[in-house]
Amino acid sequence: MMMMFRNHVQATSSTVLAMMMTRSLRYSSSSSSASAASAAASGAVERMPKFLVTGSTGQLGVQLVSLLRSTFGAASTLATDVRLPTDQNMLNEGPYAFLDVTNGDAVRRLADQHEATHIVHLASLLSAVGEANPELALRIGNEGTKNVLEAARDCEGGSPRTVYAPSSIAVFGPSAGKVAGDKSHLMPSTVYGITKVHLELLGAYYRKKYGVDFRSLRYPGVVSATPGGGGTTDWSMDMLMYARQMLSDKAAGKTTTAIPFECFLKKDTFLPYVSMDDTLNETVKFMSASQPPQCTYSVTGLSFTPEQLHESIRRHIPEFEVTYNPCAVRQKIADSWPDSCEDSAARRDWSWNPAVSTADALVDQILFHEDADDAGEQNLQKATIK
């Protein structure tokens, strides 16, 4: 089932990617306009973008690496992390390397060796895990970001690399109010949120001082049919995966479990979310756009409570039951976050437009994916990326 979901994301996202990425950005091995003009005069074919992805074995990294490789070629994307991926496709489909982002020399060396034009910086410890290990969360979040930006600035023989590094609604605290946006007060209640504020500010500094094209989206909870990585919104994936397993057991003629799903947040905890499909499609759209006016944008897809997601699932599985056993740490974090996000600037500046806007649509998408691994989807025109 997880593989089916990955194939669906790759196919649908690749189609959107090919349609959306109409603006061309060419990279040459020299930053000088004279060299670029010479290359154009000689008819030289300018190379496609190449990506170094940190934290690639996480929830978003696995899907994004697959999408980039399917679109730009297997060799285009160097996946990296401090551990081997559980998804063997990541190892089989393209290059993979060990990388600790707190080692600045290693980050720069791999970026140079791969001739990366883009660094996609996903390495971090999520909210709940970061609270359990704040020292490591600070090292990965703060030192890692600095090292990535330095590798982008100090690019061998060319212009600064583009950096995409997601932020999070964790940058907000109670002072942001129930609806938070680009101009809301940033007073995070977690170490994870603190590292994301640092990421946003340092990225903006490197853009202004060194010309690094730094871009970031403040993700709400990203919902997929794969396990989360220790975040406060992981309950949503856990609940949906539990429901998928019940459907799978039914289809196989097995007796479905009578054990209720246990949710670690209160049933009325209202938070913003976005589907994985929308996250991938809209992130790559953002990466492909002309340099936007802002470095960082707040975005969202929909908001719901655990009880509302439960009711949406019961449309298909009437016997699906949930018990609520709030985790004190995660509930406190969730209570400090906004109910929804104001994303009008993202819609205006680069056409943020998520497809999934209701809990019912999200449940239908994740529970009933068809296997979209269509050979026709693989014959994509090579897109260009900003």
Please state, in angstroms and rounded to a whole number, the distance separating the CA atoms of residues 78 and 65. 8
Classify 82 as helix, strand or coil.
coil
Between residues 34 and 173, the one the model is more confident about: 173
pLDDT tens readout for residues 46-62:
568 999 999 999 999 99
Smallest CA-to-CA distance from 294 within 204, 185, 160 is with 204
Confirm whether 27 is a catalytic residue. no
Name the pLDDT band for 157 (thresholds 50, 70, 90).
low
Please state, in angstroms and rounded to a whole number, the distance separating the CA atoms of residues 102 and 148. 9
Look at the block and give the residue holding tokens 């060799």: 75
Please state, in angstroms and rounded to a whole number, the distance separating the CA atoms of residues 313 and 319. 10
Name the pLDDT band for 251 (thresholds 50, 70, 90).
confident
The fourth-level CATH superfamily of domain 2-28+48-378 is NAD(P)-binding Rossmann-like Domain (3.40.50.720)
Alpha carbon 151 to chain centroid distance?
A: 21
Strand partners, 162: 118
pTM recorded for the entire structure = 0.85
Helices then strands (H, E): number in the chain?
16, 15
pLDDT score of 15 more than 80: no
Q: Which one is catalytic: 192, 206, 219, 242?
A: 192
Smallest CA-to-CA distance from 324 within 305, 298, 343, 338 is with 305
Smallest CA-to-CA distance from 302 within 223, 202, 385 is with 223
pLDDT score of 245 more than 50: yes
Task: Pull the structure tokens for residue 255.
Answer: 């007796």
Smallest CA-to-CA distance from 87 within 109, 116, 58 is with 58
Please state, in angstroms and rounded to a whole number, the distance separating the CA atoms of residues 386 and 172. 29
Q: Which of 18-27, 201-210, 314-323 has the lowest mean pLDDT?
A: 18-27
Q: Which of 22-26, 71-75, 376-380 has the lowest mean pLDDT?
A: 376-380
Look at the block and give the residue holding tokens 């929830």: 59
Handedness of CA 170, 171, 173, 176 (dihedral sign): negative
Q: According to the model, what pLDDT value does residue 14 have?
A: 45
pLDDT score of 159 more than 90: no
pLDDT tens readout for residues 175-232:
999 999 999 999 999 999 999 999 999 999 999 999 999 999 999 999 998 888 889 9
Please state, in angstroms and rounded to a whole number, the distance separating the CA atoms of residues 194 and 197. 5
What are the DSSP E strand ranges found in 181-304? 214-219, 221-223, 261-263, 271-275, 296-298, 302-304
**φ/ψ bin of 200: left (φ > 0), alpha (ψ from -120 to 50), beta (otherwise):** alpha
Task: Pull the structure tokens for residue 229.
Answer: 């990585």
Task: Pull the structure tokens for residue 90.
Answer: 């990541």
Q: According to the model, what pLDDT value does residue 46 have?
A: 54
What lies within 8 Å, CB to CB, of 375 at 6+ separation is none
Cβ atoms 60, 122 nearer than 8 A? yes
Q: According to the model, what pLDDT value does residue 185 have?
A: 95
pLDDT tens readout for residues 30-40:
333 333 344 34
Which helix H or strand E contains 88, and what residues bound it?
Answer: helix 88-93
How many CB atoms lie under 10 A from the CB of residue 38? 13
How many CB atoms lie under 10 A from the CB of residue 360? 18
Task: Pull the structure tokens for residue 45.
Answer: 């074919």
Q: Which of 28-32, 168-172, 185-189, 305-309 has the lowest mean pLDDT?
A: 28-32
**Averaged pLDDT of the chain:** 85
pLDDT tens readout for residues 337-371:
999 999 999 999 999 999 999 999 999 999 987 33
Q: Alpha helix (H) ranges present in 252-358? A: 276-288, 306-314, 328-335, 344-350
Q: According to the model, what pLDDT value does residue 257 have?
A: 63
Q: According to the model, what pLDDT value does residue 181 have?
A: 97
What mean pLDDT is predicted for residues 314-334? 96
Q: Alpha helix (H) ranges present in 162-232? A: 191-210
Name the pLDDT band for 256 (thresholds 50, 70, 90).
low
Smallest CA-to-CA distance from 232 within 279, 273, 283, 293 is with 273
Give the whole-number percent of the chain exceeding pLDDT 90.
Answer: 72
What mean pLDDT is predicted for residues 309-319? 96
What lies within 8 Å, CB to CB, of 179 at 6+ separation is 338, 339, 340, 341, 342
Please state, in angstroms and rounded to a whole number, the distance separating the CA atoms of residues 159 and 344. 31
Q: According to the model, what pLDDT value does residue 378 have?
A: 30
Q: According to the model, what pLDDT value does residue 35 have?
A: 37
Name the pLDDT band for 158 (thresholds 50, 70, 90).
confident
Smallest CA-to-CA distance from 304 within 329, 275, 345 is with 275
Q: According to the model, what pLDDT value does residue 250 have?
A: 86
